[in-house]
Chain A
Amino acid sequence: MKVLVTVKRVIDYNVKIRVKPDGSDVDLTNVKMAVNPFCEIAVEEAVRLKEKGIASEIVVVSVGGSEAQEQLRTALALGADRAILVESTANTESLNVAKLLAKVVEQEQPSLVIMGKQAIDSDNNQTGQMLAALCDMPQATFASEVSVADNSVTVTREIDGGLQTLSLQLPAIVTTDLRLNEPRYASLPNIMKAKCKPLATVTPDDLGVTLSAHTQLLGVNPPPQRSAGVKVKSVAELVDKLKNEAKVI
């Protein structure tokens, strides 16, 4: 069975972002970039399916600028077999990314698509669900457990009230939550090997997709800043402040 995973190049999760002084966007100059953590979990899950003999081939796809090759190489080093970069930097909002991915899915015909539930830059949590709609595939978002058997996948999902388990017929789309697995680190030999694995680049034109803008970013502002308050010396002082100063208890 072929598994398709997607990765997004995003700011490293340890970096605290700054807004540009002109308020036009966030400042990404010289910021450390990485594979979106949820996409890393997606790659890991695909690799585990391959190690179990369930997946036969893992294709990793990214939509982004040519720099995203770096993140595709990381995915290859983690165990993906080949990579596709859909080179596009304009109009990369979720719906458009989903449209490009839908074309790749049409060409590759994977049995299972595994994606991150959200990217930690835009925090949208949309692309997987949109791709599922465009491909008319069933979806299981926020997965904490995935098991594939015969022609179906059983997925346990993290929902607000607890856990929900669904069974989907393949082909299907799964998006990952934090508890699905703990991604491995790429070993040095695997990083070397990844350099020779195939990485194809296509454009939206090649895929026959014309993208139009559905939203416009008017500006970006820093959020209201909280400042540190006071340190209290004892539990009694804390209770007193909460009762008489903050009046919240």
Chain B
Amino acid sequence: MAILVIAEHDNQQLKPATLNTVNAASQLNQPISILVIGSDCQAVAEQASAVSGVDTVLVADNAAYQHQLAENTAKLIAELASDFDYVIAAGTTTGKNTLPRVAALLDVAQISDIVAVKSADTFVRPIYAGNALATIQSLDSKKVITVRTSAFDAAGTDGSATITPCGLVHANAQSEFVSEELAVSERPELTAASVIISGGRGMGNGENFSLLEKVADKLGAAVGASRAAVDAGFVPNDMQVGQTGKIVAPDLYIAVGISGAIQHQAGMKDSKVIVAINKDEEAPIFQIADYGLVADLFEVLPELESLL
């Protein structure tokens, strides 16, 4: 019995999501290997070798894996899976893109977005926008799983796993990377931040998000958004928190000008402390907020900035 965890990275840095995933995997009490698939990704392999509780780091370093196209990586993972009983990845857009493809190649189910490990074959996962928690038993001999990273703490980084190169190459002629437009920000990543301040339709426009950013800078917070704010073009899609965006659980979540639809709550209701700032006292967000302030956000935000 052994576990293969797929590393989340950008060829330079191992992403924190991998640490949460390893911690989830460690609850199965089996030897853990991490697989790094990329191009010029030796630095990532070294970072992965320091993750606590990991025995081996396999590195598939080849130009064919530069953009981690699912057509290539799924074949590689499925081939390597013969030596493992579990294949586990973070429920990021990369994990979600790749792992179902791996599962189908292996003719097994994929268990998505687990929030708890009950036993070697039984897991808990949210369904219906987190309004119910399903306990699911896998009947397959191999288990392919994605992890909701916000539900697990990060593993430590005092390990010293051996690094083993893996020479298998899977390339394809059917899909090709064209370009990428990645958000650059000095602020912490949404899924790793301990404080998040999010804006909704109530922000009115994209420029007004600078009011949130000023508060975020004082708090060392990440900035998020509701779907309505993204759809309206105020901010880019990578800031969307919710059922179909990013799932977060920071120590403090401040919702500003967000009504609190079920789909938004699905992405943030496991935050430790929730603050809602909304001028409508009937807004559903207040039903889950620890601290509610019924007020106009345009008055509140500058004052909040000055008091911090």
Interface bits B92-125 vs A (CB < 8 Å: 1, else 0):
1110111111111101111111000000001000
Residues of chain B contacted by A139 (CB below 8 angstroms): 70-71, 97, 101, 175
Interface residues of A in 116-165 (CB under 8 A from B): 117-118, 120-134, 137-142, 144, 154, 157-165
- The answer to whether B176 has its CB under 8 Å from any CB of chain A is yes
Q: Is the CB of A178 within 8 A of B128?
A: no
Q: Interface residue count for A (Cβ, 8 Å)?
A: 81
Stretch in contact with the other chain, from A66-74, A75-83, A238-246 = A238-246
A21 to B31, CA, bound (A): 39
Stretch in contact with the other chain, from B53-61, B204-212, B243-251 = B243-251
Interface residues of A in 159-192 (CB under 8 A from B): 159-169, 172, 177-179
Residue of B at shortest CB range from A169?
Answer: B174
Q: Is the CB of B136 within 8 A of A217?
A: yes
Q: What is the interface of chain A mostly: helix, strand, loop, or mixed?
A: mixed
Q: Is the CB of B182 within 8 A of A161?
A: yes
Interface bits A226-249 vs B (CB < 8 Å: 1, else 0):
111111101110110110001011
A239 to B300, CA, bound (A): 11
Stretch in contact with the other chain, from A1-9, A10-18, A54-62, A198-206 = A10-18
Q: Interface residue count for B (Cβ, 8 Å)?
A: 91
- The answer to whether A65 has its CB under 8 Å from any CB of chain B is no
Q: Is the CB of A222 within 8 A of B132?
A: yes
Interface residues of A in 90-140 (CB under 8 A from B): 93-95, 98, 117-118, 120-134, 137-140
Q: Is the CB of B136 within 8 A of A141?
A: no
- The answer to whether B63 has its CB under 8 Å from any CB of chain A is no
- The answer to whether A196 has its CB under 8 Å from any CB of chain B is no
Q: Is the CB of A121 within 8 A of B238?
A: no
- The answer to whether B290 has its CB under 8 Å from any CB of chain A is yes
Q: Is the CB of A163 within 8 A of B133?
A: no
Q: Which of B71, B104, B105, B292 contacts A232 (CB 8 A)?
A: B292
Taking the closest CB of chain A, its distance from the CB of B89, in whole angstroms, is 12
Known contacts A162-B183, A216-B137; is-contact A168 B175 (Cβ 8 Å): yes
- The answer to whether A209 has its CB under 8 Å from any CB of chain B is no
- The answer to whether B291 has its CB under 8 Å from any CB of chain A is yes
Q: Which of A16, A159, A218, A230 contacts B131 (CB 8 A)?
A: A16
Q: Which of A19, A98, A167, A229 contacts B104 (CB 8 A)?
A: A98
Q: Is the CB of B182 within 8 A of A229?
A: no
Q: Is the CB of A216 within 8 A of B104?
A: no
Q: Is the CB of B308 within 8 A of A249?
A: yes
- The answer to whether B288 has its CB under 8 Å from any CB of chain A is yes
Residue of B at shortest CB range from A160?
Answer: B93
Q: Is the CB of B288 within 8 A of A228?
A: yes
A168 to B236, CA, bound (A): 24
Interface bits B212-238 vs A (CB < 8 Å: 1, else 0):
000000010000000100110000111
Taking the closest CB of chain B, its distance from the CB of A39, in whole angstroms, is 13
- The answer to whether B241 has its CB under 8 Å from any CB of chain A is no
Known contacts A125-B112, A162-B183, A226-B269; is-contact A238 B176 (Cβ 8 Å): no
Interface bits B268-308 vs A (CB < 8 Å: 1, else 0):
01001111000001000011111111110000100110011
Taking the closest CB of chain A, its distance from the CB of B190, in whole angstroms, is 9
- The answer to whether A214 has its CB under 8 Å from any CB of chain B is yes
Residues of chain A contacted by B274 (CB below 8 angstroms): 226, 229
Q: Is the CB of B133 within 8 A of A223?
A: yes
Known contacts A161-B183, A223-B133; is-contact A239 B307 (Cβ 8 Å): yes
Residues of chain B contacted by A130 (CB below 8 angstroms): 100-101, 103-104, 110
- The answer to whether B129 has its CB under 8 Å from any CB of chain A is yes
Q: Is the CB of A160 within 8 A of B238?
A: yes
Q: Is the CB of A163 within 8 A of B181?
A: yes
Q: Is the CB of A133 within 8 A of B101?
A: yes
Measuring CB to CB, which residues of chain A are less than 8 angstroms from any residue of chain B? 11, 13, 16-17, 19, 26, 38, 93-95, 98, 117-118, 120-134, 137-142, 144, 154, 157-169, 172, 177-179, 213-223, 226-232, 234-236, 238-239, 241-242, 246, 248-249
Measuring CB to CB, which residues of chain B are less than 8 angstroms from any residue of chain A? 10, 67, 69-71, 74, 92-94, 96-105, 107-113, 122, 126-140, 172-183, 191, 195, 219, 227, 230-231, 236-238, 243-244, 246, 251-252, 262-263, 269, 272-275, 281, 286-295, 300, 303-304, 307-308
Question: Can you name 19 A-B pairs with beta carbons within 8 Å?
Answer: A17-B132, A26-B131, A26-B132, A95-B107, A128-B100, A129-B99, A139-B71, A154-B178, A161-B180, A162-B182, A213-B139, A215-B137, A217-B136, A218-B136, A223-B131, A232-B293, A242-B291, A248-B195, A249-B195
